Structure 1
Amino acid sequence: MRPARPSPAPAPPARAAAAARPAGALWVVVPAHQEAARLPGTLAALAAQRDRDFTLLVVDNASTDGTAALARGFARRAPFPVHVVTEPQKGVGCAVDTGFRYAIAHGAAQLARTDADCLPQPGWTAAARAALDAGAGLVCGRITARRDEHGPAGRAAFRLLVALAALFGRLRPAHRRSRGYLVPYRMHAGNNMALTARLYEDTGGMPRRPSPTDRLFLNRVRRTTAAVVRERRMVVANSTRRLRTYGLLTTARWYLDKGPGRHGEDPR
């Protein structure tokens, strides 16, 4: 007589959590390093979204200034579920990858990201969800300069830098479609993006390294899918503190992927 087969092991907690989540569950991931001063503004902007049917994940990236405590305090009064995790390896790529993989393991089907010094406009999550529901794999939003960090001249300089970086990306020989890319290059800001969990896994994920990572990740996506769209209604006000710290020329070098010169990678 054959021995009875053992009962199957229970599903791991992450898989069980995923099965319990809605099919289109949206998670917003915010990497944060030493952002105690600016994180409250980002959290308030997320709480002011018109579409608040999402879960927020703050990834504390080796902070020593109370960033994680602020996020946990916000979780007690937030109008949506909030998770706070720690990534001890410093680097925005490490924090984003840890956050996205945590969200996917806990049931995320759609992922959006902004940064802890940015202010998503009230229609941000609604625009991201609508684009993903319509079939986009990756959604690239529009960035503007925060109005509380620079005057008109500084904001104009920021717009010029963004335009130059976008032009450089389109003209750069390494970005040509003859290199195996499925879609033309378009400017993509990591602090204003949304994508499907499936696409994230198919690309292999965000490079686990310090900034800049956005161009590297975009090119991984461009080799994986043609479903890359730009959604102008998905707007984030971007910090201009790098411009203040580096100056115009060094900031231009940074956006053109030439490094920060004599400055460190972190402008704080």
Structure 2
Amino acid sequence: MTGPAPLGAGDVRLWVVVPAFDEEAGIARTIAALAAQHDRDFRLVVVDNASTDGTVLAVESACAAYGLGVTIVTERRKGTGAASDTGVRHAIAHGATHVLRTDADTLPTPRWTAVGRRAFAAGADLVTGPMRARTDEVRLRPWERVVLPGVIGFCQAFGRFRPSNRSPELLGPYRMSPGCNLGVSARAYEASGGFPRTAIEEVHEDRELVNRVRRVSSRLEHHRGLVVHASVRRLRAYGLRNTLRWYLDHGHRPDVVDVRVVA
């Protein structure tokens, strides 16, 4: 797979994919953040991952209120990998050249789509950027404000030296790319095989996608302006130590994986 030729920004047909499972209570805030993007020239697909609540109605209501077009598709196989793959492949099948993916409990900053578009136009096959903690759900504790940025930095550094992320066959640099802040070109997605169709407790689908793309492209980029604010609800439910164990290797096996309420 040769390096992509630079495109004009207008040649990037951008879609945003949001997998969602039982997010009725909060997904409207994610929709609001997407509606507030400086670059609104994108199409939105929300993947309803067999929700048991009013997630679909909440999405439809919020998108109507903000004047944001949306396509809702259903993926019955529960799992962030399966839902993400369904959403990305739907986007590509309907004309997307590039896709940004975020979560249904995440708030992208207003420049998110614009920064992603510029990176893609310059030839990136996979893009990511900083992930910061949301502060609108709960008041962050003083230690969390101090410790969380360092924890994220540690995880980024650890990933570069992790044996499974180091191999002669991997072309591009390792970039820690959380699923809530990740973009990929259609050509790299299809060439690499895309997201594994798995549940979150089985495989970290974002890490797997990064390494799959690294087998076909060297154009993996981190952009400081590609920023999202992510929920701290898993941290509150698991605690710092078990959250790290969960993300590093599923070392923590909680009774409740799908945390939906912030303690």
Structure 2 length-normalised TM: 0.89
Contact 1:109 / 1:197 at 8 angstroms: preserved in 2? yes
Per-residue deviation at 1:126?
A: 0.2
1:35 paired to 2:23: yes
What's the counterpart of residue 48 of structure 1? 36
SS at match of 2:46: strand
Contact 1:75 / 1:83 at 8 angstroms: preserved in 2? no
Write the mapping of 1:40-79 to structure 2, written as runs, cut at 5 A: 40-79=28-67
Contact 2:192 / 2:213 at 8 angstroms: preserved in 1? yes
Per-residue deviation at 1:177?
A: 3.6
What's the counterpart of residue 241 of structure 1? 233
Write the mapping of 1:104-123 to structure 2, written as runs, cut at 5 A: 104-123=92-111
Letter in 2 for 1:203: S
Gap regions ≥5 residues in structure 2 = 1-9
Per-residue deviation at 1:23?
A: 4.5
Taking the aligned partners of 1:116 and 1:194, their CA distance within structure 2 comes to 16
What's the counterpart of residue 154 of structure 2? 164
Cα offsets for 1:4-43 (capped at 9, x unmatched): xxxxxxxxxxxxxxxxxx8521110001111111201100
What's the counterpart of residue 155 of structure 1? 145
Q: RMSD value over aligned CA atoms?
A: 1.5
Contact 2:116 / 2:127 at 8 angstroms: preserved in 1? yes
Higher gyration radius (CA): 1
Letter in 2 for 1:97: D
What's the counterpart of residue 208 of structure 2? 216
SS at match of 2:174: coil
1:185 pairs, out of 137, 155, 174, with: 174
Cα offsets for 1:193-232 (capped at 9, x unmatched): 1121111111111011112211111110111100111111
1:175 paired to 2:165: yes
Change (3 A) 1:217 1:160: same
What's the counterpart of residue 225 of structure 1? 217
SS at match of 1:139: strand
Taking the aligned partners of 2:184 and 2:259, their CA distance within structure 1 comes to 28
Taking the aligned partners of 2:39 and 2:121, their CA distance within structure 1 comes to 14
What's the counterpart of residue 188 of structure 2? 199
Letter in 1 for 2:71: H
Letter in 2 for 1:264: V
% identity of equivalent residues = 49
- Count of paired positions: 246
Letter in 2 for 1:110: H
Letter in 1 for 2:197: R
Per-residue deviation at 1:88?
A: 1.1
What's the counterpart of residue 264 of structure 1? 256
Taking the aligned partners of 1:262 and 1:63, their CA distance within structure 2 comes to 20
What's the counterpart of residue 243 of structure 2? 251
Taking the aligned partners of 1:250 and 1:139, their CA distance within structure 2 comes to 28
Change (3 A) 1:200 1:157: same
Cα offsets for 1:163-219 (capped at 9, x unmatched): 2221221121222243x1112322111110112111111111101111221111111
What's the counterpart of residue 86 of structure 2? 98
SS at match of 2:173: coil
Taking the aligned partners of 1:59 and 1:78, their CA distance within structure 2 comes to 19
Gap regions ≥5 residues in structure 1 = 1-21
